[in-house]
Structure 1
Amino acid sequence: MINIIAPNIKNGGGLELLLYLIEHIKVSYPNIRCVVYLDSSVQMLESDNNIEVVHINSSFKKIKLFSKKIDNALYFGNLPPLVKAKNSIVYFHNLYLLMPFEKLIKTSIKFFIKYFLQQVYIRFFIKNVNMVACQNDDIKEKFIKKYSFKNVQLLPFFRLCDRNLLEKNEKKYDFCYVSLAHPHKNHQRLLEACEILVKENISFTMALTIEDGHDDLVEKIKDINLKNVVTIVNLGKLPKEEVCKLYAQSKCLVFPSTEETFGLGLVEAVNMDLDVIASNLDYVYQSIEPSLVFDPSSSLDISLKMKEYLEGNIQKSSVKIENKIDDLIKILIKENKNV
């Protein structure tokens, strides 16, 4: 029996990874009973076969859960338990919990209080787990330095799209960028790059997945489209199946993010035969070999690389990282042989 403690996961890349992990355990490890603790808002998962789902519907119950001694547990929401247990792991995938104090204090009061308190919590209680797992070397080094916790291992995992979609879809977009519009995702610079290309009368199509609540970006997209040079389509937040379809309909992923714990979209896109032009940052090279790179702080450089891509004659991208989902599961069940 293993336990996955994830009541802090509600959306985004964390939820995508969690759903994939649970599905993999269900299909590939049918003899292992897995109890999953989720926030009550996550209703797409139900108990089935070897998976038992327990929904947590209050902050008090979450505190009670973290106060309980649970062996063979994966704490999937970055935070360790309040008590020590045997064979326990924190899976860490939140950049804000590595943010230096001097940078954190410059953010909003709400943001500062939330992440400062969580950082303090981790400092106090991280020794209650045996190991921390993360997705790339940069995060590993930063975590060790910030929290003085040595046993940090690289255990990245990811779900890939069905390549059969490539035969069922025609290419509609020159570029796509699959990402929610968090500040570090750098949509503003990308749209500024598009404006530069419009002024040069360079036409292309691009699909974005900006969620509701970002009216400034949506208005900027409308203004760019009014010039009748390029076409930018905002598809909104997409489920996994539609994301995979979008990859099949696109030629190139443009990825201007300034920070990532992994960069799942990079690996997904290359697996679907897309070229990738991305930020010239370490997290990119730890996952893939991109076709082109740019300075993510420079709208001009992003535009130049997009223009270079449209002109052709670039190298294909390739994946460099290994999926270690089975290694993670085997650590939890303390097995060295296939189950």
Structure 2
Amino acid sequence: MAKRIFIHATNVHQGGGRALLVAIINAIPTGLLSILSLDSRMPLSTDKVVKRVQPTLVQRLFAEIWLAKNVALGDVTLCFGNLPPLFKLRGYVVVFVQNRYLIDSVNLDGFSFKTRIRLKIERLWLSYRAGNVNEFLVQTPSMQSLMQARTKAKVSVFPFVENIDGYVRKLHCSDTMEKKDFFFLYVASGEPHKNHMQLIEAWCLLATEGLFPTLTLTLNNMHFAELCFWIESKIESHKICVKNLGSLPHSGVKELYSQVDALIYPSTFESFGLPLIEARQAGLPIIASELDYVRDVLDPEESFDPGSSISIARAVKRFMGVDEASLPLQDASRLVEYLLKKVE
């Protein structure tokens, strides 16, 4: 049994990461001394020992020094922000890795210059300080394979979520053939890998066929202004039914699950994909990318190639019960007839 548990999460303060962090803190046994090193922006009401860290490079460096000075033999430290401790600690160190960009060799060109620099620095930090870690925790087998290729440390799969109730791998759906109006939801921020452009292009293709399902998005209009402006232009030019509710609190997102027919998830790149789990817990059918990160956690009702707006549109049509027209096959005589007409 550990003497004390340290939770080191100086870069977590919002979204799904915050929800998971709060769940961990609330699950710590009452009799165990816990010491929390948290982002100053992280709202939290607790009787536990909390060290607040300002979101600056200097203050986070001081927090790393503080951690190294205070962790003792017999303590367990959970680093919840993807990165190992900067200095070697005396206790058992576990790092929870959720950011796939730090361990997968993918191009970062779609990000701003500032974000690219930050991710490159964090990649180096993870690589050069992995020796300070006793065990890495990830949420899926795909993430485990990527992590094992980068470290000799133990890498364990721990598919941790805030609430495990209601989760099933495959949903037994009722027939949707007779339904006229369909409502889809995509819960995601606007980073390039979230693939909003292909999704909106798919909605434009559906519109050309006279199909106008409603798509609800949760994009922050300020942080992703250029993307939101582009989406508005597509809404105007193609008359597609797309509405953006902006960034919502976690409780607001959960309410949306009861108001739509399916979750659609075209992301090309995830460490876990928490909305997939939450939608399944809410009993929602799921239409998602045919990628390993999806199959790690569930079997979607329909899947598609996330790089193809045509494939996404076809998956939506299958879910809606709209049949794809058969290919008009021709025999050899028809081909010859076609060719001869060219010289008439």
Question: C-alpha separation between the residues in 2 aligned to 1:107 and 1:245?
Answer: 31
Greater mean deviation of Cα atoms: 216-225 or 152-161? 216-225
1:110 is aligned, of 105, 114, 130, to: 114
Q: Does residue 1:193 correspond to 2:202, yes or no? A: yes
Does the Cα contact within 8 Å between 2:131 and 2:153 map onto a contact in 1? no
- When Rg is computed on C-alpha atoms for both structures, the one with the higher figure is 2
Q: Does residue 1:59 correspond to 2:57, yes or no? A: yes
Deviations 1:164-216 (A, max 9, x none): xxxxxxxx961001111111010111011011111111021121101123233
Does the Cα contact within 8 Å between 2:137 and 2:157 map onto a contact in 1? yes
Match of 2:88 in 1: 83
2:296 is aligned, of 286, 289, 292, to: 286
Does the Cα contact within 8 Å between 1:9 and 1:39 map onto a contact in 2? yes
Q: TM-score, normalised by structure 2?
A: 0.79
Does the Cα contact within 8 Å between 2:183 and 2:260 map onto a contact in 1? yes
Question: C-alpha separation between the residues in 2 aligned to 1:129 and 1:300?
Answer: 44
Note the aligned Cα RMSD (angstroms): 2.4
Question: C-alpha separation between the residues in 1 aligned to 2:100 and 2:281?
Answer: 25
Greater mean deviation of Cα atoms: 133-142 or 220-229? 220-229
**TM-aligned CA deviation for residue 107 of structure 1:** 6.3
Q: Does residue 1:210 correspond to 2:219, yes or no? A: yes
Question: C-alpha separation between the residues in 1 aligned to 2:10 and 2:279?
Answer: 29
**TM-aligned CA deviation for residue 114 of structure 1:** 2.0
Q: TM-score, normalised by structure 1?
A: 0.80
**TM-aligned CA deviation for residue 307 of structure 1:** 1.2
Structure 1 unmatched ranges of 5 or more: 164-171, 314-339
2:135 is aligned, of 131, 140, 143, to: 131
**TM-aligned CA deviation for residue 162 of structure 1:** 8.6
Greater mean deviation of Cα atoms: 250-259 or 204-213? 204-213
Q: Does residue 1:92 correspond to 2:97, yes or no? A: yes
**Cα separation, partners in 2 of 1:221 and 1:108, compared to 1, 3 Å:** closer
Match of 2:45 in 1: 46
Greater mean deviation of Cα atoms: 80-89 or 258-267? 80-89
Question: C-alpha separation between the residues in 1 aligned to 2:207 and 2:226?
Answer: 19
Does the Cα contact within 8 Å between 2:215 and 2:241 map onto a contact in 1? yes
Structure 2 unmatched ranges of 5 or more: 167-180, 324-344
Q: Does residue 1:300 correspond to 2:310, yes or no? A: yes
1:246 is aligned, of 237, 244, 256, to: 256
**TM-aligned CA deviation for residue 110 of structure 1:** 3.1
SS in 1 for 2:94: strand
**Cα separation, partners in 2 of 1:242 and 1:162, compared to 1, 3 Å:** farther
Q: What percent identity do the matched residue pairs reach? A: 32
Q: Does residue 1:24 correspond to 2:27, yes or no? A: yes
**TM-aligned CA deviation for residue 294 of structure 1:** 0.1
**TM-aligned CA deviation for residue 242 of structure 1:** 0.4
Paired residues in the alignment total 297
Match of 2:245 in 1: 235
Deviations 1:256-276 (A, max 9, x none): 000110111101001101000
Match of 1:158 in 2: 161
- Amino acid of the residue matched to residue 78 of structure 2? L
Question: C-alpha separation between the residues in 1 aligned to 2:231 and 2:27?
Answer: 38
**TM-aligned CA deviation for residue 283 of structure 1:** 0.6
Match of 2:332 in 1: none
Does the Cα contact within 8 Å between 1:201 and 1:229 map onto a contact in 2? no
1:250-289 map, 5 Å: 250-289=260-299
Deviations 1:220-273 (A, max 9, x none): 433444468542111111111101100111110000000110111101001101
Question: C-alpha separation between the residues in 2 aligned to 1:107 and 1:233?
Answer: 24
